[in-house]
Every structure is written in structure tokens, then in C-alpha cells.
Amino acid sequence: MTNPAKILIVFGTRPEAIKLFPVIRALEVDPRFRPVVCVSAQHRQMLDQVLEIAGIVPDHDLNLMQPGQTLDSLTALLLTRLGAVMDAAQPERVIVQGDTATAMAGALAAYYRKIPVDHVEAGLRSGNIYHPWPEEVNRKIIGSIASLHFAPTAVAAGKLLAEQVPADRVHVTGNTVIDALKWVQTRIVAKPALAGDLADLERLFAGRRIIGVTSHRRENFGEGMANIAQAIRQIAVRQDVAVIFPVHLNPNVRAVMNQALGGLSNVALIEPLDYPHFVRLLSIAEIMLTDSGGVQEEAPALGKPVLVMRETTERPEGVSAGTARLVGTDATRIVTELFNLLDDKAAYEAMARAHNPFGDGQSAGRIVELIGNEIGHKA
Ligand code: UD1
Ligand code: UDP
């Protein structure tokens, strides 16, 4: 057998780590590959929570996160620092995931060195460059660079084909988030204490109907965030509900939420949960209210209705299946839709069907096989 191919996996945020750890684990056990992990640490604490649970020790940690970082300062740093890692490591290929600044700069730095880029979660498009912002453009840049495009669904693959990406470069693999979700569920069954600490909140809120909330989108900063906070205040007027809201560490989110929601007895603003605990929150919540991408994929898989606080989504599969609904960021609309689900059993049951258009939990294996075929190394 030829020497194992050195593959550099580049990521920096919580969702990238969740969606790439299954790929890293699959590469690690395959003798055709020598995976090298580089984290930009665009996120710090929220990234480390995932690295720890997944048992990933990076080979390169650029530790780039700055409090309140701007898009241009972050991107400038990422490009030069990731480029330097590529010059030192000399990988045969680079893997990036999704649409963050790290993924975009990683793809660009690889392109500047003519290193082929493999894109995990390729082809998501909202059709609006400001929703989500800046992710829509980040993923289009990566899409124009990538060698292999691993689309999670046929819808995503179709978007790439419509952009004239050659069909033999596009593969529908499922989304690795389902691999991660299944892996962590298995771990929780084996060791329930991994996801045990929410019990305090569960005791505190016993008898109430739990609404899980996450929010962090840049395009929602300002008015959107204020509206979301206002909606949660109105929801909390109902004493039969309790809101559990792990607040993203972005100061633009925390300042608004702490000011608007601190002190409400049935709203728990808590620190970001590690992945097993967040999966527990998904399992005890009756409804998820979110602007997150990953949560739109996980909640339908667990049969939890999702109200998506965005104007558009690049994940139409949940909406088409009836398990997710776009509600925008207007406070009245959010509250009306949520109360409707709480009070109309038939409407709730219609949305609360376990539905999983995003993958079967075998995506990472498929991706690794396709990269193996591409480099021509046979096991
Ligand atoms: C980033 C991604 C977004 C992704 C999201 C997932 C970009 C431009 N944005 O947005 O696509 O959906 O992550 O959560 O790539 N912070 C901490 N500790 C952490 C993480 C963040 O303190 O562990 C704070 C810091 O002040 C940091 C700020 O949050 O400057 C913003 O982080 P950044 O990665 O720039 O943006 P996100 O809003 O997290
Ligand atoms: N998540 C987590 N802890 C939390 C909130 C979210 O582990 O407190 C996970 C969630 O299960 C999903 C991912 O983080 O897999 C989503 O990350 P985020 O919302 O930050 O980013 P997005 O998916 O919108 O890019």
C-alpha cells in the first residue's frame, strides 16, 4: 500500500466540531489516511466543549478567538495563519465543513496553494446573501473552490448542479450531524451521567412545558434579537411553560438577553451546554425555538417541532416535511405560532413526527470512502 494520504481537517466553531468529529474518527481508523487536525479556535470555550466530549486533540491550535471579533479582523487572521499551517503540514487534501469564516478562509488558503478542498455539508443555499449573513456567501465561495462536494440531501445537491458544478463532483452523503447525534445518544445510554445535570432545572420546572431556545445569528443582531427577547418575555407570561435558553457566548447575544430576560422565574438563561446536555434539552423540550442551523437538523430527527426564527432557511427539508416552520423575528408572530402549537394538540401532533431527511448516521463513512476513491488509495 502507498503511504497514507495526509488530510488536513480545518475548523473553528462548535457546529463545525460537532459535524466533523465523526469524519475525523472515520479517517483515524482508516490506514489509507493520516488525518491532521487544525483548529482556528474561532470559538474557544464552545469549541473545547465538543473537542473534549469527542476526544479530539488538535495537532494545530491557532487560538484565534478575540472577544467581540469582527468579520474582517477574524478573516484576515484566519487566512494568513491557516496558510502557514498548510505550508508547514503540506497536506494532500483539506477538509472544511459548512459556512463559517474558518471554513471559507481555510478553503481559500488551500486554493491559493492549489491543494484540493473537500466540502462537508455542501450546497446549502438560501438565495439571499444577507440571510444568513455572512454564511450564504462563505459557502458560495467554498462551493466555487471545492474538489468534492458532500451534499447532505438531494435538495442541496440540486443547488450545486444548478450552479454548474459537474455532477461527478457532487455526492449526496447525508449530514454528519446525524452521525454525531447518534454517537452521543449511544454514549448517553451507556453513561447517563454524561447528560445528567439538567436535572436541577427539570426539578425546578417540574410540571411545566419546556420550550428550548437558541439564538445567535448575526443578521438578527439589533432589532431581531430585541424582538426575540420580547417574544420570550411574552411567552413567559404563561405560567404553564418554562424556557430553557443556553445563551451563546457572543456578547451581542448575551447583553440583550441578560438585560431583557434576567430575573424571570420561568426563564433559565444558562451557559452553553455541552453536546450531551444539549441533546438532553432537545429530548425534554416540547418545542424548540431557534435560529440555529444545526438545531433545525437535530430537532426533526428527535420528533421535536422547530419554530425557526429566520426569514429564510437553507434547510427547506424540515419545512417541507412539516416538522419545522419559519416564523421570522416578529415578536407577535413568534408568540402566536408558539401558543398555537401549545394549545392545539392536532397542530402539535402534525409537527411532532420523527422525521429525518438529513441523514442515516452513516455519512462520515461515505465521505471517507469517496475521498479514498478520489486519491486512488485502495485499502
Ligand atoms: C460563528 C459563525 C457562524 C456559526 C456560529 C456557530 C462566522 C462568521 N460565524 O458565529 O456561522 O453559525 O459561529 O455558533 O464564522 N465567543 C466566546 N467564546 C466562544 C465562542 C464565541 O466568547 O467559545 C464570543 C467572542 O466574543 C467572539 C464572539 O463570541 O468574538 C463571536 O464569535 P464568532 O465566531 O465570530 O461568531 P459567532 O456569532 O459565534
Ligand atoms: N449546541 C450545543 N450546546 C448548546 C447549543 C447548541 O451543543 O448550548 C449544539 C447543537 O446541538 C447543534 C450545534 O450546537 O449541533 C449548533 O450550533 P450553533 O447553533 O452555535 O451554530 P449553527 O448550527 O447555527 O451554525
- d(CA 366, ligand 1 centre) in Å: 29
- d(CA 92, ligand 2 centre) in Å: 30
Superfamily, domain 197-352: Glycogen Phosphorylase B; (3.40.50.2000)
The domain locations on the chain are: 5-175+360-375, 197-352
If phi > 0 it is left, if psi is from -120 to 50 it is alpha, else beta; for residue 164 that is: left
Q: Do domains 5-175+360-375 and 197-352 have the same CATH topology?
A: yes
Strand, helix or coil for residue 213:
strand
Cα(326)–Cα(283) distance, integer angstroms? 21
Domain 5-175+360-375 carries which CATH code? 3.40.50.2000
- d(CA 12, ligand 2 centre) in Å: 13
Beta pairing, strands 60-61 & 33-39: parallel
Question: What is the pLDDT at residue 378?
Answer: 46
Question: What is the pLDDT at residue 120?
Answer: 99
Question: What is the pLDDT at residue 337?
Answer: 98
**DSSP β-bridge partners for residue 37:** 9
Tens of pLDDT, residue by residue over 2-34, are: 799 999 999 999 999 999 999 999 999 999 999
Question: What is the pLDDT at residue 379?
Answer: 44
**DSSP β-bridge partners for residue 172:** 151
Cα(86)–Cα(11) distance, integer angstroms? 13
The ligand that comes nearest to the alpha carbon of residue 272 is: 2
211 touches 235 (CB < 8 A): yes
The ligand that comes nearest to the alpha carbon of residue 132 is: 1
Locate the ligand 1 atom nearest the alpha carbon of residue 102 and give its number.
15
Please give the backbone phi and psi of residue 150, each rounded to the nearest 5 degrees, phi first. Answer: -100, 95
Cα(113)–Cα(107) distance, integer angstroms? 10
Annotated active-site residue 121? The verdict is yes
Question: What is the pLDDT at residue 352?
Answer: 93
Question: What is the pLDDT at residue 37?
Answer: 99
Q: Which of 23, 19, 14 is nearest to 65 (CA)?
A: 14
**From the candidates 32, 248, 277, 310, which is the catalytic residue?**
248
Query: 62: how many CB neighbours lie within 10 A of its CB?
Result: 20
Annotated active-site residue 131? The verdict is no
159 touches 124 (CB < 8 A): yes
**From the candidates 99, 274, 297, 311, which is the catalytic residue?**
99
- d(CA 278, ligand 2 centre) in Å: 8
Annotated active-site residue 248? The verdict is yes
Q: Whose CA is nearest to atom 11 of ligand 1?
A: 100
Please give the backbone phi and psi of residue 287, each rounded to the nearest 5 degrees, phi first. Answer: -140, 145
**From the candidates 14, 60, 149, 216, which is the catalytic residue?**
216
Q: CB under 8 Å to 172, separation ≥6 — which residues?
A: 151, 152, 153, 154, 156, 157
The ligand that comes nearest to the alpha carbon of residue 12 is: 1
Taking CB atoms and a 6 Å cutoff, what residues make up the pocket around ligand 2? Answer: 14-15, 18, 177, 214, 216, 246, 272-273, 275, 278, 292-295, 298
Ligand 2, pocket-test mutation among 16, 214, 252, most atoms within 8 A of CB: 214
Ligand 2, pocket-test mutation among 11, 14, 19, 248, most atoms within 8 A of CB: 14
State which residues of the chain have pLDDT below 50.
Answer: 378-379
